[in-house]
Amino acid sequence: MTTLVIAEHDNKELKGATLNALAAATKIGADIDLLVMGVDCATVVTAAQNVSGVSRVLVADHGCYGEQLAENVALLVAELGVDYRHVLAPATTHGKNVMPRVAALLDVSQISEIIDVLSVDTFKRPIYAGNAIATVQSDDRVKVITVRCSSFDAVAQADSVSASVVVLPQQHDAGLSVFVSASLAVSDRPELTDAKVVISGGRGLQNGDNFSLIYAVADKLNAAVGASRAAVDAGFVPNDMQVGQTGKIVSPDLYIAVGISGAIQHLAGMKDSKVIVAINNDEEAPIFQIADYGLVADLFTALPELESVL
């Protein structure tokens, strides 16, 4: 019994989310093959070989996988998947794009965003925006699974190469999509989903310019910056900063919510944070019910004070 894990990467670096998905695969208890699909991705392959617990790195290094278009890579994953009992990917934007296609091609049900592995066929996953946890048992021959990264501690990367490499000849071009361009936000700050500290702003910030108060504190704490959906919908900040049910799921050591009321859809994205701090001028705000530390204050006074003492 072997498990196939899909590597997340940008043809240069193996992304941290892969290490969390591998931790879930390790809990299943089988040998692990890690699949790297891309083009000119030799550095990723070397990094993949160094990951603890990986037996083999399967490499499909062809132009048709260069941008990892879901239509193309899903064909390869499904073709390989028939020989595995489990196929796992991180529940990132990429994983969520690819894995439903894989499940459909294999004619099985996807098991989405698992947060725990109870046995080879039984998993825990959140439902109702994280307000209930379902225990799901699957009889499918191949279990196609996405993994909530914040629920599994990343496996280690070793210094020495241990996994062997298998080069795959298959070149699948579905002919359904063409990569045109990517416009990526560039930031010196830590990635929101990887950061140890996250500070998020909500509608209480009133406009995008006032987010400079959040950035100033974030710079002092080497924190990533997030936002509520209300702040995103109002155009204060871009939507890749949204934390919550329909945004990113984070579980940093410290989460600071500023001018955020604490709607359940926001809590769904951050309530697993180890320490939660809330700054809000309404002492009745629901965010205080889950906060470890609450400051009832005007954020326009509290944030500059916080920045000055850091």
Which residues lie near ligand FAD (CB under 6 A)?
202-204, 228-231, 242-247, 259-261, 263, 265-266, 269, 280-282, 285, 298-300
As a whole number of angstroms, the distance between CA 50 and CA 34 comes to 11
- Could you tell me the smallest distance in angstroms from the CB atom of residue 139 to ligand FAD? 31
Give the relative orientation of helices 299-309 and 211-221 as an angle to the nearest 10 degrees: 20
- Could you tell me the smallest distance in angstroms from the CB atom of residue 111 to ligand FAD? 22
The residue with its CB nearest to ligand FAD is: 244
- Could you tell me the smallest distance in angstroms from the CB atom of residue 272 to ligand FAD? 14
- Could you tell me the smallest distance in angstroms from the CB atom of residue 255 to ligand FAD? 12
- Could you tell me the smallest distance in angstroms from the CB atom of residue 292 to ligand FAD? 18
Shorter beta-carbon distance to ligand FAD: residue 158 or 290: 290
Complete edge-to-edge strand list for the sheet that includes strand 110-114: 110-114, 143-147, 86-90, 2-6, 31-38, 56-61, 164-167
E strand or H helix that includes residue 38: strand 31-38
- Could you tell me the smallest distance in angstroms from the CB atom of residue 254 to ligand FAD? 18
As a whole number of angstroms, the distance between CA 289 and CA 299 comes to 18
E strand or H helix that includes residue 1: none
The region that residue 280 occupies, defined by phi over 0 for left and psi between -120 and 50 for alpha, beta otherwise, is: beta
Shorter beta-carbon distance to ligand FAD: residue 190 or 286: 286
Among candidates 143, 169, 171, 175, which has minimal Cα distance to 71? 175
Are 269 and 250 contacting, i.e. CB atoms less than 8 angstroms apart?
yes
Shorter beta-carbon distance to ligand FAD: residue 215 or 300: 300
Shorter beta-carbon distance to ligand FAD: residue 94 or 229: 229
Shorter beta-carbon distance to ligand FAD: residue 35 or 149: 149
Q: Residue 17: what residue type?
A: A
Shorter beta-carbon distance to ligand FAD: residue 80 or 231: 231
